[in-house]
Amino acid sequence: MQNKIEKALDKIRPSLQADGGDVRFVGFDEKTGVVKVELVGMCAHCPMSQITLKQGIEEEIKKAVPEVKEVMAI
């Protein structure tokens, strides 16, 4: 499961890095379907980070891994 999530993040990563940020996989709870990630670099302090998290990162991960119900930043 982690491998699939990491691959989905790898698709998103170039866009985040182009703006000086990145995302780091923290963990996945199979019971709840929640993925935890850490936004780093410019993404950690960007006012648009919640939109990026939900409309970018979460959508991409859900497409690749249907078992994922939600993505949360820690």
Q: Where are the domains of the chain?
A: 2-73
Q: How far apart are CA 51 and CA 13, in angstroms?
A: 15
pLDDT in tens, 17-54: 999 999 999 999 999 999 999 999 999 888 999 999 99
Q: What values do phi and psi take at 15, rounded to 5?
A: -65, -40
Domain 2-73: top CATH class: alpha beta
From the list 56, 8, 74, the residue with the least C-alpha distance to 34 is 74
Contacts of residue 8, defined as CB under 8 A and 6 or more positions apart, other chains included, come to: 60, 61, 63, 64, 65
pTM attached to this predicted model: 0.91
Taking residues 3-18, report their average pLDDT. Answer: 95
